[in-house]
Chain A
Amino acid sequence: MRGAMAWVLGAVGLLWACGVDNPGVDPPAGRLNFPVSVTLSPDGPPSFLFVASSNFDLRYNAGSVQSYALDEVQRAVDGCAAPPCSFDDLDQFVVSEVLVGSHAAGMDISPDGDRLYLAVRSETNLTFIDVDETGTLSCGGSGNPPRCGDRFRRGDEAIANERGVSLPADPVGVVAGSLALLGRDPADGDYVLMAHRGTTSQNTGRVSLFLDQAEGANDGPTLVHVVSGLPEGLVNVQLDPRGFAWVPSGSIARIGRVGVAIDAETNDLVRSFAYDLGTLAILGVDNGGRGDTRDVAFDPRPEVDRVYVLSRRPEAILIADRELAEAGDLGVVDAVPIGYGPSRLEIAQIDVTPEGGEPRTRTLLFASCFDSRDVWVVDPDLGEVVSVIRGMSGPFELAVDPARDLVYVADFRSSVIRVVDLAPMLECLREGGMPDGSCDAEVAVVLGEPRPVGELL
């Protein structure tokens, strides 16, 4: 016993000598370290890609957000004779970079494209970053890259405290929308919803409501309300075309939905709140006894009232027809099997107009599959997989750029961004046959030095 105590004291002494107050290692500029989230600037065609690195292994003392000039990326793709072309040095692509807390869990951009919002798990806050038209990021702080200052981290504002609410732990996703979606004047600003996981039926999933960017007020987002009682095990949050939030659960076969009520007459933030719109049960699907959904996407065509749900049990994209659904039921009518470990889902309308032909678009779903290390492309109208994009290590979040026929994939396992060229696949869809001998979309460019981590292989 005495020996053990001496050993512990010795170890403590050794730690002290090493400096327990060591601030850690700053991440070097231009380094991707477990990229977890990507989003495009909302201008069209998008000018910038924003990438959040989570610093999952805590090798550094911070995560990061970088903005990439997409014209430069396009040039790299165009100039690549033998794909994939790798670019370890990101200087030519990265326009700007800032440091944020570790373990970012989600990122979204304001509808105007002037502010990024991040859900940061390690600090349990909403971090926001201003973006200018050159893609430059700013969030106070100093250093190279600069570290976001306290003023850009939110969670305990006066209004929230007046209501007796505080930001719950374990944020897993964030989404931003214009209050115009909810029938307000665009000048009223934006709303931001952050999902919090929740672990049990008692400690339920929650969604926090922030308001931001009202005209004439630029103090940053303000926490206004938190709604609880949502399914536990939330993993993400998405907005539907009506501005309601959908929160899939990795634990049960239900999807939560959250509405936002902004008092139109009083115009008083205190009177705004988020509320439970009611969960939707995923019925009629064989999930083996436990549901697990990871993402949702909404068909952009106004005449198609369909919701696509990325499911891990079963591993498939579930197609739900909201017109056919009964109250409380998601209304699943079909399932398209995809790869293993589905993680994120994007939907895009791609121009497939043949040369000299009538304008034509095709709605395609892109599902990243972390475990099978690929991205599956699904035609929801056909109910079929139309391509599988391989050559990745750990695809997670992805962004589709229909203007450039590119897809940007955050490869978490190898800490790179993989740029997928859809051109071969789209060429086949546009012109028919295999004009270039292949119809496979392919990884054209790899941004960053691949640094695979053994534990994740």
Chain B
Amino acid sequence: MRRVISAAILLAVAGCDADAVTVQTRAFEHPSDVAFVCFDLSPEGTDVMAVPLDNCADEDDARFALHALVTQKGRGEVAAVDLAEDEVLDSDERVPGFTFVPVGELPVDVVVPRADPTRTYVADLGSMDVRVVQTRQFRSRVSATEPVGIASIPMPVAPTDLALSPDEQTLVVALPDAGAIATIDLGAISDETAPPPQIVMLGMDVPAGVAAEPPETPYCKVCPSDRVGGALVPCNETATGFPGTRETPEPFPPRAPVFAGMTPRPAHMVVVPGTPPRLLVADRALPIVHVVNLDDPSVAEPPIVVGVPTERLAITPLVPATIDATEATERFLYAIDATDGSVIAIRYDEATPANSAVLPASVRGDDDRVGLSAPARTIEVITPAYDPAAPALCDAADADVGPLRLRGVFLAAGLLDGSVAIVDVYDLDARCRGGLLCEDPANADDQQVFIQRHRPRIGTTVTEGISLVTTPTVTANGTSYPVESDGETEGEIAPNLIGLTCAPGQAQVYPFDGEAPLVCALADPWGARPETWTASWQGAIPGAQGGRARLSLEEGTPTVTVETAVCERGVLGAENIAALPSEAPEAAYQPDLFVITGEVPPSVPEDAACRSAIETEEGSVTLDFPIVRSERVVDGDGEHVLVVQDRTRAELGAVTFAQALECFPELVSWEVRVQGAYTVVGSRTAYQERGVANEATGLCTVDASLPPERVGRAVPNTVFDNGIVRFEITGGLAREDEAQLSFEIGQVPGELVIAIGDRLPTVLSHIAFNSANDRMYVVDTQFSGLVEVELEPVVRILSSFD
């Protein structure tokens, strides 16, 4: 049942993939949670004893064996895995196949006290109880001869999570359907009896959020010389992480709260040691994290306002504030946003938890979210080689430091895409990475370093800065032309690029040889992405299309009714543009074009005059009409209307609106294209505009509260800058010309991502860190089962048990 992965590092760094495909029979059935226990194997037979976990710190001591207990939701059992022997244990060998210890319906959480592991506690969602199991039973090979559990503690509603107090005397149970938690006095449990749980109702008050104050010194390191590709990178530019005011950071305001319900719905819980020890409870309905004093759970403490419902938490130990400090003074709480799976970073206030504030963490997308590549399903803080009492900083001469060695405090996030992302919190090796002062690193390969707290760990280094992969090309009327380093193209109608100056935070990505920049791109390794950008002359506006346009002449005015919310797609007519303030970048747009893309339907007679005007001997005429006004009908039933400008027969090849109406009396497919500009789209970045419908009038306009760089059109002879790429392209094209500029951004440092599935479907359910052996364990409900990951000397998957 053990799959030993070869010594090759199974890392997927920004898109890399392993080749091996492994398929085999599964013994596990929907594993969901894992806990660890150490067994003393010296006694014979069933007398093996569960002993404190620290006994298993020495892997070479054969007397003790580290085990993992894995809940099997599909079987109502808990499986034991002997991690010392790399073996899944069959708890009853008399039964064919693998048998595990039955614990009740739908076990969702398992807890083994670290110091006194005599008993194991399992929360059963289906059985609505907490089972108490003699831990040694998991090691026994003939469990059927023994009683399975010594107690079943009924819960009033289904339990979903367990947490243990630091003194291991109190077990806390989350009861979402009751809006409460239950506490169980473990000291009162005997072989015969178990005490009833004490129910603690959770509060419903949602106070105002707390603004985050910028740190005095950011936790950040970028080498060499804090510059990449000639451009400043975030450590200097946005080191504080406080967007908007780089030079004079201001408090970061909390977001408006979002509710998913009006009563508490506790989810995952974590315990913060200290005086008093506190329990933090995520809430799937309210935008708060409940704070419970474990010394007296009946006394409610003010909650931490996080702004959104949350489903899972992870808390760090105390860590130093800066890279070189050794006194651990800071603690951070992470939470998964229950509405979208994003991850929030919170500075935890030890004295008054309610003063904890959500931090800005991302340079792209939502400011107050850790920038991960996919929604998170589970998070856990991992602390390899970390002792908060005496952080063991690296030695400057240590040549083993590098992005793949994890020593310190990190957040591990199990993502929906089946990978585990690592987020930097406190790296014991940071001061040595790239050299003490970004000079003469002991590891000669570790020259380029990007480390910033709450940001994904960069897992690769690059020798060059962010750059284009190849020369940009312009395709004009079917022929491709490279853009020379002076910006010229050889095509007769192919547009050229114009030299410009890169904006702060951007790097020159073309030309490669240092001539005047033609294309610039975001240099921030956490904001940049490898992707292909295209700028299409008079291209279609993505999303502004459909199959149900109706043409009409409303009181003689050419009008089109469509089914798509055109305002939100950024469609603007002449009147809409004229109403914009002159400083808005959209004020330079030309009116968009409404284009009929459907064919003349068969119901229109072959000899109809309109048909001959459209279906000419030279081919079909494209029917397009400049938009005069675009709007959402405020008093209607959600209709969207485009008032268009008619064409006259005086225009060469023109088809009038009346002719179009004659040939398209029924619903017709359509799209909107820009006029006199290029539509700019990234392969991983969606087309972006600031379009919105005015609430009062319904007229399409722009949302001025959004950043002005949120534009999707490159106007000829005007610098285009959407905050990610910047270039300027010449004009001179006719309406009927086709031209497209394309370039691919590469050389972007890749984030450290551990691929779990190995080309098999994956749904991660849990991550656990075992401080006894400093390894990380990932639970996959699908094929991989329990995956053991070594964290140093380099991150690698050791084995998996399924």
Interface string of B759-778 (1 = CB under 8 A from A): 11111010000000000000
Chain B, 534-559, CB within 8 A of any chain A CB: 542-543, 547-548, 550
A372 to B29, CA, bound (A): 10
Confirm or deny: B154 has a beta carbon within 8 angstroms of a beta carbon on chain A: yes
Contacts of B127 in A (CB 8 A): 434, 439
B601's contact among A271, A339, A440, by CB below 8 Å, is which? A271
Interface string of A422-441 (1 = CB under 8 A from B): 00000011001110000110
A183 to B341, CA, bound (A): 36
Decide: A286 and B762 in contact? CB cutoff 8 A: yes
A-B CB contact pairs (8 Å), 26 listed:
A163-B602, A266-B665, A266-B666, A277-B547, A284-B374, A284-B416, A284-B417, A285-B416, A286-B756, A288-B757, A324-B340, A327-B542, A332-B375, A333-B340, A334-B341, A334-B416, A335-B763, A337-B30, A381-B265, A384-B125, A386-B106, A387-B106, A388-B74, A428-B158, A432-B178, A439-B128
Decide: B419 and A433 in contact? CB cutoff 8 A: no
Give the shortest distance, in Å, between A374 (CB) and chain B (any CB).
9
A268 to B604, CA, bound (A): 13
Residues in chain A within 8 A of chain B (CB atoms): 162-163, 183, 259, 261, 263, 265-266, 268, 270-271, 273, 275-277, 284-289, 313-316, 321, 324, 326-327, 332-335, 337, 339, 372, 381-388, 428-429, 432-434, 439-440
Contacts of A266 in B (CB 8 A): 665-666
Decide: B548 and A261 in contact? CB cutoff 8 A: yes
Given A321-B340, A432-B157, answer yes or no on A385-B106 (Cβ-Cβ < 8 Å): yes
Contacts of A263 in B (CB 8 A): 666-667
Given A261-B547, A286-B419, A386-B125, answer yes or no on A433-B155 (Cβ-Cβ < 8 Å): yes
Give the shortest distance, in Å, between B685 (CB) and chain A (any CB).
10
Contacts of B458 in A (CB 8 A): none
Confirm or deny: B605 has a beta carbon within 8 angstroms of a beta carbon on chain A: no
A372 to B30, CA, bound (A): 11
Chain B, 174-209, CB within 8 A of any chain A CB: 176-178
Contacts of A276 in B (CB 8 A): 547
Decide: A384 and B108 in contact? CB cutoff 8 A: yes
B669's contact among A162, A275, A288, A315, by CB below 8 Å, is which? A275
Decide: B603 and A439 in contact? CB cutoff 8 A: no
Contacts of A313 in B (CB 8 A): 761
A435 to B667, CA, bound (A): 59
Contacts of B417 in A (CB 8 A): 284-286
Chain A residue, CB-CB nearest to B602? A163
Decide: A289 and B759 in contact? CB cutoff 8 A: yes
A163 to B548, CA, bound (A): 19
Contacts of B178 in A (CB 8 A): 432
Give the shortest distance, in Å, between B418 (CB) and chain A (any CB).
3
Contacts of A288 in B (CB 8 A): 757, 759-762
Contacts of B416 in A (CB 8 A): 284-286, 332-335
A432 to B757, CA, bound (A): 38
Give the shortest distance, in Å, between B758 (CB) and chain A (any CB).
9
Given A321-B340, A382-B160, answer yes or no on A334-B375 (Cβ-Cβ < 8 Å): yes
Give the shortest distance, in Å, between A41 (CB) and chain B (any CB).
31
* 9 other A-B residue contacts (CB within 8 Å) besides A284-B374, A384-B160, A433-B155: A261-B667, A275-B548, A286-B761, A286-B763, A288-B757, A288-B761, A337-B73, A432-B157, A440-B126
Given A288-B757, A387-B126, answer yes or no on A275-B547 (Cβ-Cβ < 8 Å): yes
A273 to B73, CA, bound (A): 47
Contacts of B311 in A (CB 8 A): 383
A328 to B542, CA, bound (A): 10
Contacts of A273 in B (CB 8 A): 667
Pick the 9 closest A-B CB pairs, nearest first: A286-B418, A314-B761, A275-B547, A337-B781, A286-B762, A288-B761, A284-B374, A271-B666, A432-B156
A263 to B667, CA, bound (A): 7
Give the shortest distance, in Å, between A159 (CB) and chain B (any CB).
11
Decide: B781 and A428 in contact? CB cutoff 8 A: no
Decide: B419 and A385 in contact? CB cutoff 8 A: no
A116 to B613, CA, bound (A): 47
Confirm or deny: B339 has a beta carbon within 8 angstroms of a beta carbon on chain A: yes
A337's contact among B284, B418, B759, B765, by CB below 8 Å, is which? B765
Decide: B128 and A434 in contact? CB cutoff 8 A: yes
Given A334-B416, A387-B106, answer yes or no on A432-B761 (Cβ-Cβ < 8 Å): no
Confirm or deny: B686 has a beta carbon within 8 angstroms of a beta carbon on chain A: yes
A334 to B309, CA, bound (A): 14
Chain B, 131-157, CB within 8 A of any chain A CB: 154-157
Confirm or deny: B433 has a beta carbon within 8 angstroms of a beta carbon on chain A: no
A385 to B665, CA, bound (A): 52
Decide: B548 and A259 in contact? CB cutoff 8 A: yes
Decide: B686 and A326 in contact? CB cutoff 8 A: yes
Given A263-B666, A270-B603, A271-B603, answer yes or no on A335-B377 (Cβ-Cβ < 8 Å): yes
Give the shortest distance, in Å, between A440 (CB) and chain B (any CB).
6
Contacts of A386 in B (CB 8 A): 106, 125-126, 158
Contacts of B154 in A (CB 8 A): 433-434
Decide: A333 and B341 in contact? CB cutoff 8 A: yes
Give the shortest distance, in Å, between A248 (CB) and chain B (any CB).
16
Interface string of B99-110 (1 = CB under 8 A from A): 000000110100
Chain B, 347-387, CB within 8 A of any chain A CB: 373-375, 377
Contacts of A432 in B (CB 8 A): 156-157, 177-178
Give the shortest distance, in Å, between A359 (CB) and chain B (any CB).
15
A263 to B781, CA, bound (A): 49
Contacts of A372 in B (CB 8 A): 74
Contacts of A271 in B (CB 8 A): 601, 603, 665-667
A289 to B105, CA, bound (A): 33
Confirm or deny: B576 has a beta carbon within 8 angstroms of a beta carbon on chain A: no
Chain B, 105-134, CB within 8 A of any chain A CB: 105-106, 108, 125-129
A112 to B435, CA, bound (A): 76
Give the shortest distance, in Å, between A97 (CB) and chain B (any CB).
37
A435 to B450, CA, bound (A): 58
Confirm or deny: B782 has a beta carbon within 8 angstroms of a beta carbon on chain A: yes
